[in-house]
Copies of this chain bind each other. A is one copy, B any other.
């Protein structure tokens, strides 16, 4: 999970569709896409995932589904990302098998310690900085927290939360393997240009 990951937010993408923003961001250099939608009815979520996968797969860009293991299995997504309130990683791994990437958000030090024995492929360090797009987290890690996780954890780390051109260099310096952004791409006036700028910093 190196490089620049676009995490989708339908409201921030509007009036553009999620598909349109994904297309532009990938053209600009985003190297993975996480489809996240906590409100969409299941059928519409599935159809969005199918459309994204049809675009991403031929380009070798992994599609990661947030939370919904059933939708990930239905479309054959490359990965599944879960938070601490979603299915436990052990259950995700059991349902999805060994060939699917499993990412886990860590919001507390306990989460990080527990993750060392969990069958996950990367940790989402969430949030590095405070962010308006996710309101259910437990406080920001900061660069110190990220560096502390880097020194302790066996996993690749994907940083998320308040990341943009001004903050990404410090986060990479502190040990992030990958950079995930929501607003910096979904709300960008020109997502392709924004992705090009951010990918160069990852």
Contact = CB atoms under 8 A, between A and B. Distances in A.
Interface of A: 41-44, 46, 67-71, 73-74, 82, 84-88, 91, 94-95
Q: Is the interface of A mostly helix, strand, loop or mixed?
A: helix
Contacts of A86: 41-43
Contacts of A73: 69-70, 95
User: Which of A43, A69, A70, A94 has the most B CB atoms < 10 Å from its CB?
Assistant: A70
User: Which of A43, A71, A82 has the most B CB atoms < 10 Å from its CB?
Assistant: A43
A87 B70 contact: yes
Contacts of A43: 84-88
Given A42-B86, A88-B43, A68 B70 contact: yes
Given A41-B85, A41-B86, A74 B46 contact: no
Nearest to A69: B70
A142 B85 CA distance: 40
B85 A42 contact: yes
A43 B42 CA distance: 17
A190 to B, nearest CB: 34
6 A-B pairs with least C-beta separation: A69-B70, A70-B70, A41-B85, A42-B86, A43-B85, A74-B91
Given A69-B73, A70-B70, 4 more contacts: A43-B85, A46-B91, A74-B91, A74-B95
